[in-house]
């Protein structure tokens, strides 16, 4: 959770005014009593009403994990971690009867991932598995080439559209070559934060 918190704060701190405003609007939409903090009741109401209840089903202690100072409420920076999770990490395992929330390391089908990059303007879902389901072959899928999400990122170094190279993920870091990036797979801060906040009614 500490790494997720650090990443969320880094994206916010380096973001533009629009990105920061979107994150703050999200916080305000959950703070229905306007006291500047998110209680467990407010958090639970939002999760249930917005369709993110599977997150709590898979991790009932998520609120406590987000509450870094243990004061039974979430301040803005603590809630920012949750915002980052649902915008970038709301992925569930597609193994048989699993549906675990994949917040950390997971395995993804490379063919499906590359298909999404090649069909940027169309809905092309990825196929993702927790480590247990992948290791135990607890899934049925038409493709067999999987990499974990960290190795997948490292394997994409090199000319655009090059076949992923697993060995590159374990090689010693070297200066990156000066090549033109593929715009289809570039990820920007706007992907993470520049999205409209849900509209919850504020209690007067």
Residue-number span of the structural domain to which 63 is assigned: 2-90
Q: Which pLDDT tens digit goes with each residue over 109-121?
A: 998 888 765 444 4
> Is residue 127 situated within a structural domain?
no
Round to whole Å and give the CA distance between 171 and 153.
13
> Is residue 181 situated within a structural domain?
no
CATH number of the domain where residue 34 is located: 1.10.238.10
71 CB-near residues (< 8 Å, 6+ apart): none
> Is residue 49 situated within a structural domain?
yes
Q: Are 203 and 42 in contact (CB under 8 A)?
A: no
Q: In the chain, which ranges are continuous DSSP H helix?
A: 2-14, 17-30, 40-50, 53-58, 62-66, 76-88, 110-118, 131-135, 149-155, 189-193
Query: Quick one: how far is CA 193 from the chain centroid?
Result: 11
Confidence of residue 176 (pLDDT cuts 50, 70, 90): very low
pLDDT at 140: 93
> Is residue 85 situated within a structural domain?
yes
**Maximum mean pLDDT: which of 139-143, 159-163, 180-184:** 139-143
> Is residue 78 situated within a structural domain?
yes
> Is residue 61 situated within a structural domain?
yes
Mean pLDDT of the chain: 76
Q: Which pLDDT tens digit goes with each residue over 9-59?
A: 998 899 899 989 999 999 999 999 999 999 999 999 998 888 777 777 777
Q: Are 61 and 44 in contact (CB under 8 A)?
A: no
Exposed, middle or buried by CB within 10 Å (0-12, 13-18, 19+), for 28?
Answer: middle
Exposed, middle or buried by CB within 10 Å (0-12, 13-18, 19+), for 116?
Answer: middle
Report which of residues 78 and 159 the model is more confident about: 78
pLDDT at 124: 58
Percent of the chain with pLDDT over 70: 71
Give the number of domains in the chain: 1
> Is residue 102 situated within a structural domain?
no
Report which of residues 131 and 191 the model is more confident about: 131
Angle formed at CA 90 by CA 85 and CA 93, multiple of 5 degrees: 135
Confidence of residue 174 (pLDDT cuts 50, 70, 90): very low
> Is residue 182 situated within a structural domain?
no
């Amino acid at each position: 959770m500490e790494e997720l918190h650090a990443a969320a704060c880094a994206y916010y701190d380096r973001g533009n005014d629009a990105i920061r405003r979107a994150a703050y609007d999200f916080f305000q939409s959950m703070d229905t009593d306007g006291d500047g903090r998110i209680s467990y009741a407010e958090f639970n109401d939002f999760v249930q009403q917005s369709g993110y209840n599977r997150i709590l089903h898979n991790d009932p202690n998520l609120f406590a994990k987000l509450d870094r100072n243990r004061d039974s409420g979430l301040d803005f920076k603590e809630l920012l971690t949750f915002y980052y999770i649902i915008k970038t990490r709301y992925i569930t395992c597609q193994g048989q009867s699993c549906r675990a929330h994949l917040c950390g390391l997971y395995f993804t089908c490379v063919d499906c991932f590359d298909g999404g990059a090649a069909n940027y303007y169309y809905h092309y879902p990825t196929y993702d598995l927790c480590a247990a389901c992948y290791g135990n072959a607890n899934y049925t899928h038409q493709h067999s080439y999987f990499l974990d999400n960290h190795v997948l990122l490292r394997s994409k170094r090199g000319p655009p559209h090059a076949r992923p190279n697993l060995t590159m993920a374990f090689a010693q870091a070297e200066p990156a070559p000066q090549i033109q990036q593929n715009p289809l797979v570039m990820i920007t801060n706007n992907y993470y934060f520049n999205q409209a906040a849900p509209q919850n009614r504020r209690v007067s």
